[in-house]
Amino acid sequence: MFNGYLQLFKRYWAMLCFGMLAVFWGNFGQSFFISWFGASIQHDLNLSATAYGSAYSLATLGSGITLMFIGNLLDKWQLQTVVIFSALGLMCAALLMWQVNSFILLIVAFYGLRLFGQGMFPHIGGTTMARFFSQNRGKALSVSSCGVPLGEMILPSLVLFVIPMFGWQSTWLIIALVGPLLFLPVAFRLLKIAPEPEALTKENETAQAKIPQGSRRTVLQDRRFWCALPLVLMPPFVVTAVFIHHDYILAGKGWSAELFAASFALYGLVHWASSIFSGALVDRFSAKKTLSFMGLPFIAAFFLSMLSNSQALVFVLMFFMGAGIAMTGPVVGSLWAEVYGTANLGAIRSLTTSMMIVSTAAASLLLGVLIDVGFSANGLLLVLACYAVAATALSRFSYTTK
């Protein structure tokens, strides 16, 4: 397996690095990164937790809807143009965070961070890998997906180092400046020296020619898509739900916050390793055949976590969630290209990515309602486990059958 990755990296290292860099740059709009500024934002803007959460959810929902309309720019514009557009968008959002002084401006800033950070940059990285690579698409997507765990392991420590020195708002100014000064030159250099797209073998070329070049309409009219969708949306939904409401879950289970923070290192490591392994599985067996297995780690995570209140189960929960979320990139990223071709891949991926973003906005709200009506920590874990089981079962009627 590792020899296959080594050979791929020797020839296509520049494009692989571009994909990972694009996904990594999107971390500035991910929940795990923005959450480190939450307490400071609430304090300085005099916002309640409810107001802060509402601003974040509203911005996330808006960004998900917007991505559905601009994600197909990758089908219409040159890649370099989309990269510039997204980098400037993220820079403007970071500049707004630098100067934010009101609730309305915070919503606008969050909207930009979520649209270009959580939305466009991972979309750019994933779509480019799926188009550029054919025989090794799963491996390429797993490499680009490693930009997320890399950020999870590096960025929190950097933030904790920079904020005390410069303040939280000046930290966003630094982020805004790093985009045009560092990201764009490196990204353009990698694209310039990248070789031609990976060639198809005669066997793969014949198989590729048989794939109908679908559109969004094709996808939405396909019964198999709706059977697969609950499982596709499940990983970001449940992970966001656990992270956003971790205080309630920790209190209910008697787990310490320090132990939960320490478990993030395990989560990031497993996320990386599982992504590499999943990419190899996709290339060997296809995304259609591996799709249903994507829910199994989450089923294990939630059911095992309900067994007792042992502190060790924090690491069990994070281990299996890391393994599960890592499969999303290579499996789902390859799936659309396998089933619907690459001609309109930007539009198709943006459709599903926007749905994922909306699902993360819904996760916080729905679990908040369950908490308000009296669900215990184990009750929440049971709800998430049942969702994972139902979504996995339904996926068996999707692309695994003709």
- Percentage of residues of the chain with pLDDT beyond 90: 49
Whether pLDDT at 30 is above 70 = yes
With beta carbons less than 8 A apart as the criterion, state whether 59 and 107 touch.
yes
List, for residues 258-280, the tens digit of each pLDDT value. Answer: 888 788 888 888 988 898 888 88
Candidate ranges 41-45, 49-53, 209-213, 343-347; pick with highest mean pLDDT = 41-45
Q: What are phi and psi of 88, to 5 degrees?
A: -70, -35
* pLDDT tens figures, 154-171: 888 888 889 999 999 999
> Which residues, 6+ apart, have CB-to-CB distance to 167 below 8 Å?
none
Q: Return all residues near 6 (Cβ < 8 A) that are at least 6 apart.
A: none
Tens of pLDDT, residues 294-337: 999 999 999 999 999 999 999 999 999 999 999 988 899 889 88
213-401: same fold as 1-199?
Answer: yes
The pLDDT value recorded for residue 1 is: 64
What percentage of the chain has pLDDT greater than the value 70? 95
What's the pTM?
0.80
Residue 203 has pLDDT above 60, yes or no: no
Query: Tell me: the pLDDT tens digits for 76-90?
Result: 899 999 999 999 999
Give the per-residue pLDDT at 235. Answer: 94
Is the pLDDT reported for residue 204 higher than 70?
A: no
Report residue 109's pLDDT band, with 50, 70 and 90 as the boundaries: very high
Using DSSP, state whether 256 is helix, strand or coil: coil
The better pLDDT of the pair 316, 195 is held by: 316
Q: What is the CATH number of domain 1-199?
A: 1.20.1250.20
- Tell me the mean pLDDT in the region 381-390: 97
User: What pLDDT does 202 receive?
Assistant: 46
Give the pLDDT mean for 190-206: 69
Residue tagged 């143009």 (tokens): 81
The per-residue pLDDT for 36 is 82
Domain range annotation of the chain = 1-199, 213-401
pLDDT of residue 209 exceeding 70, the answer is no
Number of other CB atoms surrounding residue 254 within 10 Å: 11
Q: What is the dihedral of CA 139, 143, 149, 151, to 10 degrees?
A: -170
333-368 pLDDT tens trace: 889 888 888 778 888 888 888 898 888 888 877 888
Q: What is the pLDDT of residue 338?
A: 87
Q: What is the mean pLDDT of the chain?
A: 88
| CATH architecture entry for 213-401 | Up-down Bundle (1.20)
Provide the H-helix boundaries in 341-376: 345-372
Residue 258 contacts by C-beta under 8 Å, 6 or more apart in sequence? none
More confident position, 48 or 59: 59
> Alpha helices, DSSP H only, in 113-183?
121-132, 137-145, 147-166, 168-178
